[in-house]
Structure 1
Amino acid sequence: MSESSVQTVTLHYANALADRVGPAGLTPADLEAQAGAVARVHRDINERRTAGDLGFYELPHRTDGLEASQAMARQVGESCENLLVLGIGGSALGTLAVHRALCPALHNLWPRRRRGGMRLFVCDNVDPETIAELLEWLDPNETAVNVISKSGGTAETLAQFLRVYGWLRDALGPDAARRRVVVTTDPDKGFLRRLARQEGLPALDVPPNVGGRFSVLTPVGLFPLACAGVDVEGLLAGAAHMESHVSRPDLWENPAYLFGLIHVLFYRRGRNVNVMMPYSDALRDVADWFRQLWAESLGKRYALDGGEVFVGPTPVKALGTTDQHSQVQLYMEGPPDKVITFLEVAHPRREVRCPPLFPEAEEAAYLGGKTLGELLGAEKRATEAALTENGRPNLTLALDRVDAHQVGQVLFLLEAATVFAGGLLGINPLDQPGVELGKRLTFALMGRPGYGDLAGRVGELSDPDPRWRCPRP
């Protein structure tokens, strides 16, 4: 694909500016005033890249993870129809987002010749009803399992794995079960790496300098997506194309810096809710993936200097047009604390035209001969215009179409924007200390050795009284 033929994702931010939304908006001077901060954060990012701390920046140009993932996918796909992914958070959300974007909506229901790959099931929770139903439906003779945990010790993932590995062993025997499991984890350490060596399980590496929520372009995402028939080479090519843009120092030439700076400036003005609203069913799970990326990266108690700051915008996912009928009333007339980012697709991959029935009925006649794509686009433009007229700032990430190249661009742009926003906020966007206490308390309740002293603390904090209970009739 030549550079001139590449369709590039576009960031439209005019509706975040004061000449469109009035006093609530930013001015070019507001953005220019941050030139020093932009330069400082850009230098810091480059220094951290050079030091190897921001490994996700290099993923689009690496071939090792891609080649290993494709080779493993070919091997697994020869004998199995289903791939069951066990993981949570960053081990699942990126795969779900890309699978939803690039595979047919009913992918798992189509025959393989139309799917182009294996059925893909991502088990990202430990609700026993879901696990039990899934294992009742899946045939162990046709199912491979990919267990993903960078640390190798994620409680939810290990609990899933114990049950699923037992299910495979019971049905196939120990030797065959081992051939059906692929481990994705740290290349050297952790329980899953030790288990892979002990049991002789095939394994893929998560680069040590890539955090979970930035890992979709590692074997964490590439292997299961390749199994499902996704164009993972195109995904990486799109990310590489965007990397060349989001590495530029000039704010006006860097869409990630513009996106991050606009959101941080609005956050400082009290607009601390960031809504992502795709006008595309295919992109709805991109908003879910972004929700973790933005929240876990930017929600921090401590600044880099150790001072308490309690910062972090709250990401919200919505879907056009569905949430025009559930959330837009709040966005339009509720508290002025939100910035909306639309995801828009110019050309749907398929189109549906309404037949000209009931021409005598004013309510239906105007829709005759129109397409659903035209209606979806009109709904987006109308919502955008109404928000703008009401002084509600909004931006649009516009795709020409949903394909691997442009989805790769979107993911990489948002990852780079998140790291840049973290730099502006003066926090570390790569850690997540706020979730560690919950993990330790869970270990205590489940009886993991070394955590027993915390069990009483949970009891004190989870006392159900006082409470109200519905009286018996």
Structure 2
Amino acid sequence: MHYRQIIENCLSSHVGDAGLTDQQLRAFQDRTGPVIEKLKAQYDSGELPLLRLPEDYADLDDIEKIAKRFRNSFDDVIVLGTGGSSLGGQTLYSLVDSGFGPRKGGPDIHFIDNVDPDTFELLFEQLDLIRTGFIVISKSGSTAETVAQFIACLDRLMTLGGRDSASKHALVITEPGLNPLRSLANRLSLPVIDHPPLIGGRYSVLSVVGLLPAMIAGLDARAVRRGAKTVLDATLFSDDPTASKPAIGAAVQIAFLEQKGIYNTVLMPYVDRLSNFGLWFRQLWAESLGKNGSGSTPIRAMGTRDQHSQMQLYLDGPRDKLFTLMTLDVQGQGRLISNALVKEAELAYLQGRRMGDLLESEQRATAETLVNNGCPLRLFELDRLDEDVMGALLMHFMLETIIAAGLLGVNAFDQPAVEEGKILTRQFLSDMG
């Protein structure tokens, strides 16, 4: 079992009037049935390629060849992209790097997803670009931030290593067809990989977009897809798809939204390796559901840190949030807290304990405190966290989001409202003269 999803503390029998009745939850679960039937039809027809990715290993050998070249050639790898072009890779890479560099001795991977000029100056000062590889990801090939990032890096790289250095250091991932990024790559003879044209950025983590950085870091891409497949199969091909974990998750989320007026959903992992998972989910949920006045606002929190920054609001502020805690069994793990250094009576509770014991207690205490205060709570319990489990979690939340969109009657795969900002950005740049 990859994970356990526990929803009992979302029910009125556990959290009183703040929770759902069994009848309310059942009604929303039943509504997921037609949505999943449509997904099954899209799987059968191939209309939604995302659903076929978990069973397809044909592309992985070619991706591994590229990953091996980057591993063997560079001390650092910079991934240029924003939104889904970056967050999926960051999420997978966090399995081996929680901020202190990779454990397996491969290159450091840096995800640059903004255009802050100070960041780029630091980048150029601190990295040896002659020993640095670049992966440039933009599905449309016209993302202003990504193209600007790439041109800035190319200019510096070619100044140091000559024009021919670009083709040895850079790789572009963009959709087939003519677009500005592909045109630039062709002009400079850069290698280009096709971004799956029918898979949007926020759903692309299981494709080359997310898996190439992961494989450069030495992660097992087959295990990621294998974990995703277990969740997909349990959802599309079970005797009762409405009882699948993603269907239940979607039913809980939308039932609270429509029945209880809960317009905020808090995802709070207690594992540093899931920190970027919260950022990935935030985009997935917000951009997929925020349409036509619908949707709920995803809030990313981190345990134990945000117990000391947000918990006061959660417990004593407006009751407008559904909480999802993600916990890992870490009891008995980690550094032993030295008895020789614990002499103060007030610290006696730490004697003989390990770091994991403290984290385990914090997880349990937060969950129980939320429930005791009438806050609806969903738990994801993990016994381990590896590529297989991460793949399962990624697929769970993608399916939960798609099913939730079906319950709301919105398109999970477009984002029409953000186009205005892109148009204005280009206009303001032009107006600068």
TM-score range, shorter chain: over 0.9
User: What is the 5 A alignment of 1:139-288?
Assistant: 139-248=128-237, 250-251=240-241, 253-268=243-258, 269-288=260-279
Count of aligned positions? 430
After superposition, give the CA deviation of every residue in 1:343-366 in whole Å (9 maximum; x if it has no partner).
111148961111113665321112
What SS does structure 1 have at the residue aligned with 2:94?
Answer: helix
Q: Which stretch shifts more, 356-365 or 423-432? A: 356-365
Q: Which of 98, 107, 117 is the equivalent residue of 2:106? A: 117
2:11 corresponds in structure 1 to: 17
Q: Secondary structure at the match of 1:344?
A: strand
TM value normalised by structure 2: 0.95
Instruction: Give the whole-Å Cα distance in 1 for the aligned partners of 2:394 and 2:79.
Output: 21
Q: Is the 8 A contact 1:279 1:320 kept in 2?
A: yes
**Separation of aligned partners in 2, 1:279 and 1:340:** 13
Aligned to 2:83: 89
Report if aligned partners of 1:66, 1:218 keep a CA contact under 8 Å in 2.
no
8 Å CA contact retained: 2:85, 2:204: yes
Q: Secondary structure at the match of 1:115?
A: coil
Corresponding letter in the other structure for 1:329? Q
Inter-CA distance 349–439: structure 2 relative to 1 (3 Å threshold): farther
Secondary structure at the counterpart of residue 330 of structure 1: helix
Q: Mark the CA change 1:350 to 1:179 in structure 2 (over 3 Å): closer, same or farther.
A: farther
**Range that drifts further, 94-103 or 147-156:** 94-103
Tell me the amino acid that sits aligned with residue 308 of structure 2. Answer: H
Whether 1:41 and 2:32 are equivalent positions in the alignment is no
What secondary structure sits across from 1:145 in the alignment?
strand
Seen in structure 2, the aligned counterparts of structure 1 residues 348 and 224 have a Cα distance that, compared at 3 Å, is farther
2:22 partner letter: P
Pick one of 319, 336, 342 that aligns with 1:336. Answer: 319
Q: Deviations over 1:404-445 (max 9, x none)?
A: 111111111000100000000000010001111000000111
Of 292, 295, 298, the residue aligned with 2:286 is 295
Are the structure 2 counterparts of residues 181 and 360 from structure 1 closer, same or farther at C-alpha, using a change threshold of 3 Å? closer
TM-score by length of 1: 0.87
What stretches of structure 1 of length at least 5 have no aligned partner? 1-6, 109-113, 302-309, 456-473
CA contact (8 A) 2:268 2:301 kept: yes
Return the alpha-carbon distance in structure 2 between the equivalents of residues 221 and 205 of structure 1: 13
Amino acid paired to 1:242: V
Shift of 1:10: 1.2
Does the CA contact (< 8 Å) of 1:103 and 1:230 recur in 2?
Answer: no
Instruction: Identify which of 17, 25, 30 aligns with 1:31.
Output: 25
Identity of aligned residues (%): 38
Aligned to 1:468: none
**Matched-pair contact (CA < 8 Å) for 1:422–1:429:** yes
Q: Aligned to 2:136, what secondary structure does the other structure show?
A: strand
Q: For the Cα contact (< 8 Å) 1:354–1:370, is it kept in 2?
A: yes
What's the CA shift for 1:396? Answer: 1.1
1:372 aligned partner, one-letter code: M
Cα distance in 1 for residues equivalent to 2:411 and 2:153: 36
Instruction: Tell me, yes or no, if the aligned pair for 1:83 and 1:120 is still in contact at 8 Å.
Output: yes
Aligned-residue offset at 1:49: 3.2
Structure 1 residue 280 displacement after superposition: 0.9
> How far apart are the structure 1 equivalents of 2:46 and 2:187?
30
Q: CA deviation at 1:51?
A: 4.4
Counterpart amino acid of 2:192?
Answer: A
Asked whether the equivalents of residues 276 and 316 of structure 1 are also in contact (C-alpha less than 8 Å), the reply is yes
Instruction: Report how far residue 33 of structure 1 moved.
Output: 1.9
Alpha-carbon distance, 1:122 to partner: 0.6
Q: Which residue of 1 aligns with 2:93?
A: 99
TM-superposition CA deviations, 1:66-106 (whole Å, max 9, x none): 22221111122222111111000001111112211333541
Give, in whole Å, the separation in 2 of the partners of 1:65 and 1:322: 39
Distance 1:376 1:35, change over 3 A: closer
Contact map agreement 2:226 2:388 (CA 8 A) in 1: yes
Cα RMSD over matched residues? 1.9
Task: Output the amino acid matched with 2:49.
Answer: G
Q: Aligned equivalents of 1:124 and 1:235: distance in 2?
A: 24
Q: Which amino acid aligns with 1:258?
A: I
